[in-house]
């Protein structure tokens, strides 16, 4: 799966882009105080999901998913500030909050799946079985040659 195919990331990007479009229309003081914080926290949701996707270890992935969850709460805080300071109307804030709720539910599901993957990966060992070859892949002559190499190498 490619990172661009992650639906949760697409939702986060759409949300942060919509917030940006609103914030750039605000007056300088509002942009400088509430706007920058709201834009950063909104962008941080998707940025941390993307960073989690790029991490190899489950612990690292989970850490960045938790950061993303924190950014969802921070974005909610700044949305409430924007509404209370009459920078956004309540209808728009409710729409953003509904998208944040959708994101939070998907993020919680992703965290849950990642935890399960982490749990199931502990103690996994490859079953030691003898590798066999089908006659379709190697001729008797090839197998004799390979066996001869193994005997000479050992």
pTM for the full predicted model: 0.74
What is the structure's pLDDT at 116? 85
What is the structure's pLDDT at 46? 95
Share of the chain above pLDDT 90, in %: 56
Q: Are 22 and 13 spatial neighbours (Cβ–Cβ below 8 Å)?
A: no
Contacts for 58-62 with beta carbons within 8 Å, 24 or more apart? 58/114, 58/115, 58/117, 58/118, 58/121, 59/118, 61/114, 62/111, 62/114, 62/115, 62/118
Q: Give the helix ranges, DSSP H, for the chain.
A: 7-23, 28-30, 36-53, 58-84, 90-121, 140-153
pLDDT in tens, 103-130: 999 999 888 888 888 777 665 544 444 4
Locate 91 and state its tokens: 């209808």
Judge whether residue 85 has pLDDT over 80: yes
Average pLDDT estimate for 50-70: 89
What is the structure's pLDDT at 74? 97
Share of the chain above pLDDT 70, in %: 75
């Amino acid at each position: 799966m490619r990172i661009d195919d992650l639906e949760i990331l697409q939702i986060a990007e759409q949300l942060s882009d919509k917030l940006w479009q609103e914030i750039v229309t605000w007056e300088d003081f509002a942009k400088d105080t509430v706007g920058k914080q709201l834009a950063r926290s909104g962008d941080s949701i998707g940025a941390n999901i993307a960073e989690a996707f790029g991490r190899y270890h489950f612990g690292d992935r989970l850490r960045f998913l938790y950061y993303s969850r924190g950014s969802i709460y921070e974005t909610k805080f700044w949305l409430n500030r924007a509404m209370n300071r009459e920078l956004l109307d309540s209808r728009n804030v409710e729409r953003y909050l509904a998208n944040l709720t959708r994101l939070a539910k998907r993020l919680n599901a992703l965290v849950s799946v990642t935890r399960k993957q982490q749990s199931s990966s502990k103690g996994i060992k490859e079953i030691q079985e003898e590798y066999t070859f089908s006659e379709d892949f190697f001729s008797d002559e090839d197998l004799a040659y390979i066996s001869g190499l193994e005997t000479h190498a050992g």
